[in-house]
Amino acid sequence: MLHLICVNCTKKFFCMFIYSPVFGEAWKASVVKNIDALVDSCVVLPCSFSHPGGLLPSSRLRGLWLRGSKKDSFIYSEDETMVMDAFKGRTKMLGVLGKSNCTLEINAVKDHDNGPLCFRIELVKKPNSPPTPEKFSFVEDCAELKMLIETPKPELHHSNTAVSGTSYTVICSVRHTCPSRVPVFTWNRGSKDDIVEIQKDIHSGIWETQSILTFIPNENDDHTDIICTATFSGGKSSKSSIKLNVKRKETYYHIIIPVAVAIGTAVTFGVICVFMLKKYKNRIAELQSREGR
């Protein structure tokens, strides 16, 4: 297939047609077009692409990210000198290009990083060599960031009442968009052995991190607070708490003891009655014996 390639040479544009089987079909990219980003934290932009001719090794591919369609407005490049000053040292390619993955991480998010942020792919003959004319910028498929100033509060999931001496579980969860640097949870009670953490891929670049605390409360824990704190990459944190309601463990002692006392009393009373009746009968018999004489 013939393709028109334009080159800027000595401040004049020259165009030529080249034949490229690689461009015989459409190049496609898939990005999450709108994603939340917590200022001062990090955000991961999920990205994948496809190109004609099947997979190519990473050594034949060069991935770049740009701000919009502006020429040379690179926010990520293997060559750090090409990156805009505002993004230097803050972007990292997490995806493996040879697996058609162009996922990007932006660290220490600024409130002006909103975008649009667009991916560009270039074919090279070998690493560190100039790109070939075969390149494609996905300017129709760019990501926009929605800046979050307020730190998301974790949610607590638990049963309303704990039972003394019985295992009790509280789940603390928070959603975020930076799976490469997940939030860190801390509790005001329990040890590491009492805590399990789980990562869940929700959808469209949104992840949920859960911290699950399991412990055995006692009656002294009644009306005490359980506090969960989530600290995000960059240092921002937020917390949520619940007040523990501990119920005494149900037993049958409150039934058995009164019943036992009642039975004991009845038996004692019965013995006394039998004794008194026997004594009364003996007295009657003695009186009747005297009258018969």
Phi, psi at residue 232, to the nearest 5°? Answer: -90, 160
Best-predicted range by mean pLDDT (7-16, 53-62, 266-275): 53-62
* pLDDT of the residue at 9: 38
What's at 19, amino acid-wise?
Y
The SS3 assignment for 159 reads coil
pLDDT per position as a tens digit, 40-94: 999 999 999 987 767 788 888 999 999 987 778 999 999 999 999 999 999 999 9
Strands (E), 59-103: 61-67, 74-76, 91-93
Average pLDDT on 248-263 reads 61
Where is average pLDDT lowest: 5-9, 35-39, 127-131, 146-150?
Answer: 5-9
Q: Give the mean pLDDT of the chain.
A: 83
Cβ–Cβ < 8 Å for 115, 67 = yes
> Is the predicted pLDDT of residue 15 greater than 80, yes or no?
no
* pLDDT of the residue at 163: 93
pLDDT per position as a tens digit, 97-145: 999 999 999 999 999 998 899 999 988 887 777 777 777 888 888 999 9
* pLDDT of the residue at 211: 98
The SS3 assignment for 86 reads helix
pLDDT per position as a tens digit, 193-209: 999 999 999 999 999 99
CA distance 129 to 229: 48
Domains and CATH numbers, the chain: 28-148 (2.60.40.10), 155-247 (2.60.40.10)
